[in-house]
Every structure is written in structure tokens, then in C-alpha cells.
Structure 1
Amino acid sequence: MARRNVLITGCSSGIGLALAVKMAKDEQKRFKVYATMRNLAKKEPLEEAAGRSLGKTLEIKQLDVCDEQSIKTCVNSIPDRRIDILVSNAGMGLIGPIECQTIDEMKTVMDTNFFGLVRLLKEILPDMKRRKNGHIVIISSVMGIQGILFNDVYAASKFAVEGFCESLAIQALKFKLQLSLIEPGPVVTEFERKVFEDGMKMDLSAADEETAEMFTNIYLKNYKQIFQSLGQSAEDVAEHTVKIILAENPPFRHQTNTLYTPMTTLKYADPNGDLPIDTFYKMVFHHDKIFSASLNFIKLLRWRSRKSFDLGKPSQ
């Protein structure tokens, strides 16, 4: 099998970094990885993790998904502009009451998470269509299926991605292209830590007292516990992603976290859409002690199997 060119966005940390390194270090050397990031000043962790593969099966390039010229320059620098696998991973998060978020902040999230993908495909999709060969892999989220309290704008951006891809997938089939949405639940990365820290520093003065209390004492209070109990590592998500890429018939959607699957299944169990909303409402406001106890139980089981994670770093 000829070595396939892989372009991955958002490789300065987290899932992008883990995936770039895993594919570059593939024992069968099936991939040539072009690992990209907006700010090359942040490339050192990737260089260290890449080790001997750097300059051989892995090259680091600058690419800003919010800049069309940056995308074009990067793609033009690849021999024959041949990208066999595109992994759209770059993204940003935003949590909190919408009263405390500016429209510009919301636009930035949509511009990165949704329009960033659109810009990539406007540049890369025509070449894939012409060759009638290519695999488009999008790191989406379970929040592209089910919205979560105080993740309104982030969920909206992922819903946009999922709807866009559902439409595009029909056209992709005609050109013999593959399209896969990777849908992690909570992932323990620098990305999530920054989102949490920004939430902790948020000015809540524009919100009413009850909403501010809800965000601080319910959402933020449970944030770490949810990640410690349900969270995956970036390496785990990378492993799932590689398996999808190597699959003979890769699925359109793939959820990486079986612990989270029951929550998203609620969405499909009730055509009216009331079941998941009612369930989450009761879980947060009526059965919070049971919910907390369940998270602790899951955490204990995972600790015993040495798969428990703290927010930011794997447990020893």
C-alpha cells in the first residue's frame, strides 16, 4: 500500500498532537503526516513527542483554519497538493451563561469550529473529487448530537458541523470519498483545562443571581468530577481515530466513549426530543446526589482498572 498523505489541524496539543505522533510512528510507515498549527511558536511539545519521526514521516506546518490564505499556502506546499486523509481537529470551546458572553466571542467559536472546517474543504475537497479518492475525518463531539447545560454556543458549533457533514456525505459518496465524524465525550486535554479556567474567571455580573449560582455551584462544581469519571485521554481518542481511518468501510459516525453512549442514545429513543432534556434536568436538579454518587462509582471502577484520569494528566 502506498504511503498516504495526512493533513491534521490543531496539532500543538491534545488530540491533534496525539494523533499526529501516533500516525507518524506507525510501524508499517503507512502515513506521511503534515501536522499543522496556527502558532508555530507552540510546536516544541509536538517536536519532542515526534522524536525520530520528525522530518521523516512527520512535518510541522503553519495553518490557521480562520485564514483562507494560510490554508492555501499550506496545501500548496505539499507535493502535488495530494492530501489523502484530512483530519479537521482544530477547535475552541466556550462555556457559561450566554448573558455573559459577547457576540464576538460566539462568532469566534463558530468561525473556528464550523467555518474553519468549511474553509479547509473549499480548498481540499475539489482535489479529492478530481482524484475520486480521499477520507475526510472530523473531530466532532457528542455535543454535536446532544446539547449540554452551559455549552450552548459550543454545542451549536458542533451541531452545525454535524448537519453540514450529513449533507456533504451524500455528495461525497458520488465521488467515492469517505467522511467520518469522530465524537468524543469528555477528553482530558489542555483544551479542556483552558475552557474550565476561562469559565472560573468569567464575569457573571450580567447574569441573574440564580443563573450565576447554577453555573458556579452546579456546573463548575461538577466539571472536574465528570472528567475524572468519564474522561478519556487524547491518546485513547487518537487510537479510535486511527482504527476508523484504517477500517475497510469506515462508519459515518463513531463515538469514542462507551461510558457516554447511554446519554446520547436518549436523543434517538424519543422522536419528540423531550426524553433527553427531561432526563438531564432531573439528573442535575432533582437527583444530583445520585448523579454524584454514580460518577464516584464509575471513577472507582476505572481507578481499579487503572484508567482513571485527572483533569490534565493521566493518573499514576
Structure 2
Amino acid sequence: MARRNVLITGCSSGIGLALAIKMAKDEQERFKVYATMRNLAKKDALEEAAGHNLGKTLEIKQLDVCDEQSIKTCVNSIPDRRIDVLVSNAGMGLIGPIECQTIDEMKTVMDTNFFGLVRLLKEILPDMKKRKSGHIVIISSVMGIQGILFNDVYAASKFAVEGFCESLAIQALKFKLQLSLIEPGPVVTEFERKVFEDGMKMDLSAADEETADMFTNIYLKNYKQIFQSLGQSAEEVAEHTVKIILAENPPFRHQTNTLYTPMTTLKYADPNGDLPIDIFYKMSPLFIHQGPVLHQGCLLPSFTSFPDVSPAWD
């Protein structure tokens, strides 16, 4: 198999860094990795992890997904502009009541998570179409399928990505291109730590007392416990992603965390869409009093009157 050029965005930390290193250190040297990040001042961790692979199977380049010229400059610097695998990973989070978030903050999340992907594809997709060869891999989220309490804007950005890719995947077939959405659940990374810290510092004065209490005493108080119960490492997600990239017939969607899968399955168990919303609502108050537990591979509150959702586990 010829060595494939892989461009990965958001490689200064987390999933992007773990994936870049895993692919660069592939024993069969099947990949030449172009690991990119918006701010090259944050490249130290990547350089250290790359070790002797730096400059050989891994090169670090500047790329800001919110800047079309930055994307073009990066792609033009790659020999023959050939990108066999694009991994769109760069993203940002936002949690909290929408009353306490500005429209500009929301726009920034959409600009990075959704339009960042669109900008990448506007530059890279035409070359893939001409070659009739290429694999587009998007690090999405289970929140692109099922919205979660106080993740309204982040979920919206990932829903946009999922809908965009569902549409694009049909066109991709015509050009023999492959498109895969990687959908992690909670991942323990610097990304999540920053999101949590920003949530802790949020000014809640614009929210009513009940909403502020719900965010502080339900969501934030249980944030770390949820990640400890369900969270994966960036390396685990990277391992799943490499398997998808190497697959002969890669799937369109792949969830990396089987513990979380039942949560998203609830959505498909009820065509009306009421079941998951009702269950998440009933779960929330009980986090305060009893805490979450793992039940049948899913995070559920520990109470006995949970409605019958057995079809969701089939």
C-alpha cells in the first residue's frame, strides 16, 4: 500500500495530537502526517511526543480553520496538494444557559465547528474529486445525534456537521470518495477541562434562579463524575479513528464509546422523539440526590421507577 498523506486539524492537544502521533508512529509507515494547529506556539507537546518521527513521518504546519487563506497556504505547501485523508478535528465547546451566552460566542462555536469543516472541504474536496480518491474523516460527537442538557449551541454545531455530511456523502459516492463521522462520547482531554473551567466562571446573573441552580448544582457538580464513569482517553478515540481509516469499507458513522451508545439509541427507539427528552428530564433531578450509575452499559440515575426502555438496548 502506498503511503497516504494525512492532514489533521487541531493537533496541539487532545484527540488531534493523539491521532497524529499514532499515525506517525505506525510500524508499517503507511502515513505521512501533516499535523496542523492554529497557533504554532502550542506545538511543544506535539514535537516532544513525535520524537524522531518529527520531520520524517510527521510535519507540523499552521492552519486556522476559520481563515480561508491559512487553509490554502497550508494545502499549497503539501507536495502536489495531495491529501489522501483529511481529518477534521479542530473544534471548540460551549456550555451553560443560553441567556448567559452572547450571540458572538455562539457564532464563534458555529464558525469553528461547522464552517471550519466547510472551509476545509471547499479547498480540499475539488482535488479529491479530480483524483476520484480520498477519505474525509470528521471528528463529530454523539451530541450530533442527541442533544444534552446545557450543551445547546455545541450540539447545534455538531447537528449541523452531521446533516451537512449526510448530504455530502451521497455526492461523495459519485466520485468514489469515502466519508466517515467519528462520534465520541465524553473524552478526557484539555478541551473538556477548558470547557468545564469556562462553565465554572460563567456569569449566571442573566438566568433565572431555577436555571442557574440547575446548571450549577446538577450539571457542573456531576460533570467530572460523568467523565470518570463514561470518559474515554484521546488515545482510545485515536485508535478507533485509525481503524476506520484503514478499513476496506469504512462506515459512515462510528461511535467510539459503547457505554454511551444506548443514550443515542433512545432517539431511534421512538419516532416521536419524546422518549429521550423525557428520560433525560427525569434523570436530571436525581443526579443531585443519588448520583449517576452505570446500568446496562448506560449512565442512568439510581432509582427504581425508570420507565421501560428495553427496546433501546436491543
The alignment's TM-score, normalised by the length of structure 2, stands at 0.90
What secondary structure, in the 3-state scheme, does the structure 2 residue paired with 1:249 have?
coil
- Per-residue CA deviations over 1:235-267 (Å, capped at 9, x if unaligned) read 000000000000000000000000000100001
**1:96 to partner: Cα distance:** 0.1
Q: Is the 8 A contact 1:188 1:313 kept in 2?
A: no
The question of whether the paired residues in 2 share the 8 Å contact of 1:224 and 1:311 is answered with no
Which residue is equivalent to 1:22? 22
**Percent identity among equivalent residues?**
94
Q: Name the CA distance, whole Å, in 2 between partners of 1:315 and 1:273.
A: 16
1:28 alignment partner, SS class:
coil
Whether 1:11 and 2:11 are equivalent positions in the alignment is: yes
Residues 314 and 144 of structure 1: is their aligned pair in 2 closer, same or farther, counting only changes over 3 Å? closer
Give SS of 2:309's match.
coil
Given that residues 233 and 314 in structure 1 are in contact (C-alpha distance below 8 angstroms), is that contact kept between their aligned partners in structure 2? no
Q: How has the CA–CA distance of structure 1 residues 279 and 314 changed in structure 2, closer, same or farther, with 3 Å as cutoff?
A: closer
Aligned residues of 2:262 and 2:313 also touching (Cα < 8 A)? no
**Contact map agreement 1:186 1:231 (CA 8 A) in 2:** yes
Answer yes or no: is the 8 Å Cα contact 2:265–2:312 preserved in 1. Answer: no
Q: Which residue of 2 aligns with 1:36?
A: 36
Q: Secondary structure of 1:176's match? A: coil
**Is the alpha carbon distance of 1:29 and 1:264 closer, same or farther for their aligned partners in structure 2, counting shifts above 3 Å?**
same
Give, in whole Å, the separation in 1 of the partners of 2:217 and 2:63: 39
Question: Are 1:190 and 1:312, in contact at CA under 8 Å, matched by a contact in 2?
Answer: no
Aligned CA distance change for structure 1 residues 216 and 314 (closer, same or farther; 3 Å): farther
TM-aligned CA deviation for residue 315 of structure 1:
30
SS at structure 2 position matched to 1:27: coil
The alpha carbon displacement at 1:184 in A equals 0.1
SS of 1:279's equivalent in the other structure is helix
**CA RMSD across the alignment:** 4.9
- Of 292, 309, 312, the residue aligned with 1:311 is 309
> Aligned with 1:26: secondary structure?
coil
Matched-pair contact (CA < 8 Å) for 1:65–1:112: yes
Is this contact kept in 1: 2:266–2:312, CA < 8 A? no
Distance between the aligned counterparts of 1:15 and 1:190, measured in 2? 10
How many residues are paired up? Answer: 290
Give 1:101 deviation, angstroms: 0.1
Would you say the 8 A contact 1:193–1:312 is kept in 2? no
Q: Is the 8 Å Cα contact of residues 269 and 312 (structure 2) preserved in structure 1?
A: no
For 2:311 and 2:82, locate their aligned partners in 1 and report how far apart those are by CA, in whole Å.
36
Q: Does the residue aligned with 2:60 lie in a helix, a strand or coil? A: strand
Give 1:3 shift.
0.3
Alignment of 1:243-282 (within 5 A): 243-282=243-282
1:110–1:313 distance in 2 versus 1, CA, 3 Å: farther
Deviations 1:183-238 (A, max 9, x none): 00000000000000000000000000000000000000010000000000000000
Q: Which runs of 5+ in 2 are unaligned?
A: 284-307
Q: Is the contact between residue 6 and residue 31 of structure 2 (CA under 8 Å) also seen in structure 1?
A: yes
- Separation of aligned partners in 1, 2:77 and 2:312: 36
1:312: Cα distance to partner?
A: 34
Quote the offset at 1:314 in angstroms. Answer: 31
1 CA distance for matches of 2:275 and 2:246?
36
Moved runs in structure 1, 4+ residues, more than 6 A? 310-316
Which secondary structure state, in structure 2, belongs to the residue aligned with residue 313 of structure 1?
helix
Match of 2:90 in 1: 90
